[in-house]
Structure 1
Amino acid sequence: MQCAYDGATTVQEVAVEIIEVGPRDGLQNEQVLVSTEDKIELISRSIDAGLRRIEATSFVHPQRVPQMADAEAVMAGVPRRADVSYIGLVLNRRGFDRALAAGVDEVNCVVVASETFSRRNQGMSVADSVQVVGDLAEESRAAGLGLSVTLATAFGCPFEGEVPETTVVELARQVHAFGVDEIALADTIGVGVPAQVSRLAGGVAAAAPGAVLRCHFHNTRNTGYANAVAALDAGVTVLDASTGGIGGCPFAPDATGNIATEDLVYLLDRSGVGTGVDLERLIGTARWLSGVLGETVPGQLARAGGFPAYSA
């Protein structure tokens, strides 16, 4: 985590940017259909806690992901601030056009690293999804939108098993050639371990010099937070997280949630790593979200609280 102890209890601070993905990746796999108003409330609470990049929604077919059917309505209702950037996930040109019209600040495209999952998740081959990125890159720049690419199943596929690291690195090289701003390595089904994270982050950094490197971890097998630490040690500067630890991919069998934003912030705060995020407010939002969903969220701090004790 690039934290150097001085022999006592203080550590050197390193800034890490956290992207809140709860409104999109968090809610998309929930059984309870969350109202547009509550989605906007979740986004507003995230901003109040200090989060400044929010994955607000995805512009996908509403029959495939019903939770995201109100994408335009969500974007119409979010607070507009100069210091907040809203990300919309898109899979094709139709989604891009919708996102642009809805007023997103950034678009996030997805390239899946395994053929079977790519066809189930996006209805296209891996090569076709790379071409989508190429087709949209220039239009994103012309529209003044940030463009990121998530390399999904980068650490393993539920249908094909192990994904060769060389495949992921090559995909990173290909999308980097289009001039994307940021490349995210996603452990879509939560199978990665720290050694994998270190190798992949190093490989992608070499293949995509100058691109911001981001990581997206799920805690399916209790390795998500260890992977986050490994990512920071490897030079990653941006991490995705979901308030309450909710979420998962609807097209991945037995999917469970993302790493929880509040749990991640606790880990970083106690390690002396600056995030600019208010832990107390995050814990309050996670508890509020439990009420919205009608069940306790997976994140631990919603139950345990922080240490020393927080009043959230």
Structure 2
Amino acid sequence: MSSLPESEVDRYSLAGTSTTSFTPSMSSLWYREREGIRFQVVNEAYFYPVGEEHLQIEDLWDLIRAIKYYDGPGRCFPKALEPLLNELLSKRDAQVLDVGSGLRAKWVVDMASRWPSATFVAMDLLPPVETWSPPNCIFEIADCMEGLQYQDASFELVNHSWLSWWLPDDLSYAKLVDEVARVLRPGGVLLLSEFSNEVVPEDGTSLEERYPTMAEFQVMNRAVALAAGSRYLTDVDLVFDRVLRDSGKFTDIHVSRIDAQIGERGVDPEKDQAGQYSYLMSTCGFHSWMQVLAGGAPEETQRMDGGIKAELETTRECAPGKGVKGSGVCVWARRI
């Protein structure tokens, strides 16, 4: 039996059709145009551009996450979790919650296809842009910062990814962890993957000296995040590890810090593949967000765009340890 009220199940379930069923006129409420850029908008603290570049960013994030976080292309979770997830999600009444399912909702769609007997609930502030998913998917529009509107002990697995931008502080994440613990069944799994909001030189030198336009962009990005109420996490592995342990509600906590080079180094094929995806993601990310941060001003946009592209180009084939990298974290734990 679904943990959602029947009215919500009827409202958001795709029921095997090719069209997502949402209430009328939602798209006009949730999408705005500014300086030629289309945004998903809920309030001043949550806005997200949704052009083709931004969809590509999310697609590239999925590819990087599979390779660097989940042990190989096409994967949705670490290999070490596979026996446990097979046990938990093969149950007939198994339920999975994906918090912050994103523009594509790709993780929940892929997982629902893999475990067709389980029910998957995709939760986000805004509806996905895709119009198809397996019949065992339910989409809900909700804000995780206002609590999870589900019964206690409802889910075998709760996943979230790429939420760190929107978390105001450690306390906000601690509250979310408490909610996740409440809705997880005993022995259930929390799985999360996040990345830092900044890139740094691999050799510890100054970003400002070597890549001044990237550094300028990050200063602007940080200011926008803080103005919108975000903590702008850069120490994601330490934050999530500490919050989970301090909660006292999880055991078997696994925390893996992930460093992802940007560009290729010609040493490790797998790292080079992820590095190429990171390069493409960075190119799209810097360009698209720079348009937003520069307020659409043509001269400023052109200046920063040219500078960032030139700096990224120099990172593509750096000697090992001499380029730039991003970092992130993969965490999974079991509910006590």
Instruction: Give the TM-score of the pair, scaled to structure 2.
Output: 0.30
Q: Which has the larger radius of gyration?
A: 2
More strand, by proportion: 2
Instruction: Give the TM-score of the pair, scaled to structure 1.
Output: 0.31
